[in-house]
């Protein structure tokens, strides 16, 4: 018998209120904003075309006026795009929402075509004149934005070419991103266990991998694999197209390596990225030592890939939505009341969608929307302790984005290298709050193991995902279109060094690359997670040493948004990202946590 199972959750019915953006899809302001933005974009083109490159006529005041109007137009369009994106994420299997999102993307492209000239003309300003303008106090608000744009001077095309690429993206890469999201949101996975067949969505089957019973975890593994393989042809094609599209873009824009464009956006050198990746890989012994320890805790001779997230004790405590809210609010308020106020606003004003309903996009994210509104958070809450950490993580993003909004649309968001700072820091705050509340040694060990596993998922696994992407893009460029089996081989090849002989990677695991959205949405995003994890471990240690003196500098870091380069901002925090010892220092903290877990395990099993 097959039945549809909607997993019970205390967050059932907890959805977001998007009315701060628009009252609904029939809100006349939605269409009006696009019409006004198009008119403003045409006026902007009429008023400023040819004048930005005019070395004699471009004064700092005129440049400031142009930047202000340019930013305001982008924010007006961004408001509509944010709204339709959030609607679609909340119910990705709704065709009307998908059609609305596509329509808005097409209309935003029409608007963007009238603005492209501005960026290109700024790149044509002679270097000496650009330096003079950048030094003018009148444009200090936009200085870093303009500096960053100049870094792309060698990679921008002519205006007609840029317009073509912008318009074709709606039927190219963006279309395939939407297809990927809708395919995974609509996918159903058959889970057979104890003679019963249950139907789950992606989020539910992934949650089952945390079940205390190994048979349930094995069934989840087989069900996830079966569901992915039923979509293998389509998902493999999507991956091939997106990777090929990336190659074409790199060729057109003269990027020498697949990671070059992401590094430039992140304002980080490849040498620093390589240092990060190598430092992370030097800590694989920590991961393997932990998994051997976990196998002993679980009474297993060896761990399989589907055992990695098993709870260390049979009955891990559940955590309902309201208790989660209390824990998270208290943890953030204990750090600083300003953080607590922002967190309370998310819960009080329904800026969070937590219901794990069918058709909703899987995973979790925080959308910054536009500076004049506020961020929104999507999570799929299933009453597990680790879901509390997910809420804490996304609220960290919410705090970061809320504080950065003061910098305006063009500079509110930090590059990916710093984007995970507040989220991972928030996880640490909530983890320590949970440890303070818990007195049961077994539960404390479970919390500690869960936190280690979360740290491994960022400090190590995200580097594995980056290595996989490197292999994937290289193979696609050298070999042409890749089969699912070939990609699966690359996936296992990238995963094996982290796990060593401590975890057996099954044949099923070879296709689990298919459901990871970062590869499709934002190629080479993943190393930013590892950067953020190791950075936060160092910053959190500073917080423990400095106490309240640390807090103002931390808030200054978050409030800066993207108004300065990460290297400069972090130097103000006493961090040198070019120093490999910085990354390795974070690994040392993980070793200490592992030793604490091992000692606690010995005490429990005396």
Q: What is d(CA 101, CA 91) in angstroms, rounded to the nearest whole number?
A: 12
Q: What is the CA radius of gyration of the chain?
A: 24
Give yes or no for residue 161 having a pLDDT over 70.
yes
Q: Which residue has the higher pLDDT, 293 or 193?
A: 293
d(CA 520, CA 513): 11
The pTM for the full model equals 0.85
**pLDDT of 452 above 90:** yes
| Count helices and strands in the chain by DSSP H and E runs | 27, 8
Q: What pLDDT score was predicted for residue 4?
A: 27
CA distance 289 to 502: 8
Each residue of 239-279: pLDDT tens digit? 999 999 999 999 999 999 999 999 999 999 999 999 999 99
Task: Give the model's confidence band at 604: pLDDT under 50 very low, under 70 low, under 90 confident, else very high.
Answer: confident
- Specify burial of residue 33 (Cβ count, 10 A radius: 0-12, 13-18, 19+): middle
Q: Which pLDDT belongs to residue 585?
A: 80
DSSP string covering 443-491: HHHHHHHHHHHHHHHHHTHHHHHHHHHHHHHHHHHHH-SPPHHHHHHHH
Residue (of 409, 428, 402) closest to 558 by Cα position: 402
Whole-angstrom Cα distance, residue 581 to residue 393? Answer: 26
pLDDT value, residue 416: 84
Instruction: Extract the tokens encoding 573.
Output: 């925090």
Going from the C-alpha of 46 to that of each of 41, 75, 118, the distances in angstroms are 9, 20, 11
pLDDT of the residue at 314? 67
User: Residue range 227-244: average pLDDT?
Assistant: 97
pLDDT per position as a tens digit, 313-351: 767 788 999 999 999 999 999 999 999 999 999 999 999
Return the number of other C-beta atoms located less than 10 Å from residue 271's C-beta.
Answer: 10
């Amino acid at each position: 018998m097959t039945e549809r199972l909607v997993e019970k959750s205390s967050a059932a019915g907890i959805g977001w209120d998007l009315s701060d953006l628009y009252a609904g899809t029939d809100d006349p302001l939605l269409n009006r904003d696009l019409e006004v933005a198009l008119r403003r974009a045409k006026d902007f083109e009429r008023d400023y075309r040819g004048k930005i490159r005019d070395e004699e006529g471009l004064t700092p005041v005129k440049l400031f006026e142009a930047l202000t109007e340019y930013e305001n137009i982008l924010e007006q369009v961004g408001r509509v795009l944010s709204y339709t994106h959030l609607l679609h994420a909340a119910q990705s299997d709704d065709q009307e929402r998908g059609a609305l999102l596509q329509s808005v993307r097409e209309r935003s492209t029409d608007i963007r075509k009238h603005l492209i000239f501005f960026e290109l003309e700024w790149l044509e300003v002679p270097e000496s004149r650009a330096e003079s303008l950048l030094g003018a106090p009148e444009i200090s608000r936009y200085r870093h934005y303009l500096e960053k744009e100049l870094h792309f001077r060698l990679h921008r095309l002519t205006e007609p070419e840029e317009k073509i690429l912008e318009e074709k993206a709606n039927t190219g890469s963006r279309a395939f991103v939407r297809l990927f999201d809708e395919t995974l949101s609509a996918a159903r996975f058959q889970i057979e266990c104890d003679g019963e067949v249950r139907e789950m969505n992606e989020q539910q089957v992934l949650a089952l991998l945390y079940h205390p019973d190994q048979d349930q975890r094995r069934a989840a593994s087989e069900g996830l694999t079966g569901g992915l393989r039923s979509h293998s042809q389509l998902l493999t094609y999507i991956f091939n197209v997106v990777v090929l599209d990336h190659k074409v873009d790199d060729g057109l824009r003269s990027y020498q390596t697949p990671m070059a464009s992401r590094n430039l956006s992140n304002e980080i050198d490849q040498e620093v990225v390589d240092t990060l990746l190598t430092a992370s890989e030097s800590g694989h012994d920590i991961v393997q030592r932990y998994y051997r320890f976990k196998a002993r805790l679980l009474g297993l001779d060896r761990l399989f890939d589907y055992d990695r997230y098993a709870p260390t004790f049979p009955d891990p405590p559940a955590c309902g939505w309201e208790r989660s809210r209390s824990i998270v609010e208290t943890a953030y308020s204990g750090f600083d009341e300003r953080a607590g106020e922002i967190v309370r606003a998310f819960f009080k004003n329904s800026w969070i969608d937590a219901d794990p309903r069918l058709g909703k996009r899987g995973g979790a994210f925080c959308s910054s929307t536009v500076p004049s509104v506020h961020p929104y958070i999507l999570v799929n809450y299933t009453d597990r302790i680790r879901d509390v950490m997910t809420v804490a993580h996304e609220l960290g993003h919410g705090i970061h984005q809320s504080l950065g909004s003061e910098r305006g649309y063009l500079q509110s968001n930090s590059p990916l290298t710093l984007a995970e700072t507040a989220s991972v820091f928030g996880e640490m705050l909530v983890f320590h709050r949970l440890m303070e509340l818990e007195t049961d040694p077994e539960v404390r060990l479970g919390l500690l193991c869960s936190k280690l596993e979360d740290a491994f998922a960022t400090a190590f696994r995200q580097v594995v995902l980056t290595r996989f992407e490197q292999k994937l893009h290289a193979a696609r460029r050298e070999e042409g279109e890749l089969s699912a089996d070939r990609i699966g081989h690359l996936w296992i090849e990238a995963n094996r060094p982290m796990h060593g002989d401590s975890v057996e990677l099954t044949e099923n695991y070879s296709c689990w690359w298919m459901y990871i959205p970062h590869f499709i949405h934002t190629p080479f995003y993943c190393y930013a997670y590892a950067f953020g994890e190791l950075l936060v471990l160092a910053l959190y240690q500073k917080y423990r040493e400095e106490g309240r003196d640390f807090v103002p500098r931390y808030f200054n870091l978050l409030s800066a948004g993207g108004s300065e380069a990460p290297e400069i901002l972090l130097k103000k925090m006493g961090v040198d990202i070019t120093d490999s010892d910085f990354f390795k220092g974070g690994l040392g903290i993980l070793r200490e946590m592992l030793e604490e877990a091992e000692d606690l395990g010995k005490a429990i099993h005396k």
